[in-house]
Amino acid sequence: MTNVYEKYESPLTSRYASPEMANLFSPAKRYYTWRLLWLNLAKAEKELGIGGISEEAIQEMEAHLNLTQHDFEVAAVEEKKRRHDVMAHVYAFGLVAPKASGIIHLGATSCYVTDNGDLIVIREGLKLLLEKLTRVIDLFSKFANKYKSLPTLGFTHFQPAQLTTVGKRATLWIQELLWDLRNITRAKNDIGFRGVKGTTGTQASFLALFDGDHDKVETLDKRVAELSGFDELYPVTGQTYSRKIDVDVLNALSSFGSTAHKIATDIRLLANLKEIEEPFEKDQIGSSAMAYKRNPMRCERVCSLSRHLMILAQDALMTNSVQWLERTLDDSANRRISIPEAFLTADIILSLLQNISEGFVVYPEVIQRHIMQELPFMATENIIMAIVKKGGDRQQCHEEIRVLSHLAASKVKEEGKENDLIERIKSTEYFRPIWEELDSLLDPKTFIGRSPQQVDKFLRDYVEPALKPYEEVLKQEKQVILNV
């Protein structure tokens, strides 16, 4: 017997993915969906008067939608012999539903089940991702609201710039997540149904089945779509639905990957500054050699997986571009890998982001210390204006403070000392008129502009409306449990 550990197993399912998403792309779900589609086709054909489809046949099909271990074994043997997975499963289904064996797959081509089945799973996958994404947006929004007024150093080029707030910075992350919500929603809403289109999309086999009755063929197409839960049919197809649909879906997911990578990178930078950290469990080990370390491993994993997610859009683009005429089969193997991996990877990233946002750790004292190391330089313009209000000369004040600033900067950069600009100002007679005002001139909250108000407006006018359709989802507490 082969040891389970002697075969490669994808870490997407063995280590990371949620049970819901892993199940969605499982063989059990795939072949259940095929059987459901064969049932829907038989029901619609029976409704439209095709003979030979009995009620007993329908009942047998309904009773055996879920595959047993034996069904899988029978199909595997048949596929090895026939080199055709769809016909192997037609055979296996017919064995457990013998009264239907003669009419299963009637008039259809393989893409009836493979393509329509993929569309069903893709739409369900997008729904799962949207629910997870809204939960992440909600958690980040609560974080932004909580820290909307906490001043922090803003950075441009990762060099200290003007102050912002911890909450205002989080809105930059949330805004991109809202765009991902929009993009993934569009992709989901645009999913149609291939329907019953035949071998090259002409519906010739169904036209023959209905003795040339075009109306019945159109009714069949609509009825099967309806039974399968779709309102919209693609009006024309080749043998397959256009692989440009896959492009639209994977582009939306890959775009989300770039958002997640940016967010996780920002948190990693802040973790290095010891201002904000991701959760760190009591027994977690940061390094095998350095016991003191608290590595941002969740954010690093987000970045690692996001890189993979971002490149998967290229698979869809390349596959669509080489589909000759009505179709070629060089799409199949690629799609079996790229589509499930895109959904599983996006699912894992969202689980990680939810876990991170549920346990954010903020260190206000560290943030304050970093501010005070830079704020004296940022406050020089306020100090100049205060001196001018007391009757001083702007040019003279500018020169006085320029000299002191360079001396303080030398202490910081060349001697590794703290910024002592304010102490220098307090000991320089020229600045005596404003000594008592220095504390108020250096209050960080006077340097954050409209950050708190921007957070309030953003959450009220943009986040709340976007999350409103998901109110019931958000009421259901669903904590993420990471395997590793």
Q: Identity (one letter) of the amino acid at 414? A: E
Q: Is 287 a catalytic residue?
A: yes
SS3 content of the chain, % helix, strand, coil (to 5): 70, 5, 25
Contact 133, 475 (CB under 8 A): no
C-alpha–C-alpha distance, residues 198 and 445, integer Å: 68
Q: Identity (one letter) of the amino acid at 55? A: E
CA-CA distances (angstroms) from residue 66 to 69, 76, 104, 113, 321?
10, 16, 16, 16, 36
For 154, list phi and psi in degrees, rounded to 5. -90, 155
Catalytic pick from 14, 287, 304, 440? 287
Token reading at 333: 């193997």
Contact 39, 58 (CB under 8 A): yes
C-alpha–C-alpha distance, residues 55 and 327, integer Å: 36
- Chain-centroid distance of CA 92 in Å reads 37
CA-CA distances (angstroms) from residue 408 to 57, 302, 371?
88, 40, 16
Q: How long is the chain?
A: 484
C-alpha–C-alpha distance, residues 213 and 219, integer Å: 10
CB-based contacts of 110-113 (< 8 A; 24+ apart in sequence):
110/84, 110/86, 111/194, 111/197, 111/239, 111/240, 111/327, 112/37, 112/41, 112/194, 112/196, 112/197, 113/33, 113/34, 113/37, 113/38, 113/86
Q: Is 10 a catalytic residue?
A: no
For 151, list phi and psi in degrees, rounded to 5. -65, 145
> Exposed/middle/buried for 471, CB within 10 Å: 0-12, 13-18, 19+?
exposed
Helix (H), strand (E), coil (C) string for 197-234: CCCCCCCHHHHHHCCCCHHHHHHHHHHHHHHCCCCCEC
Catalytic positions, written as ranges: 157, 287
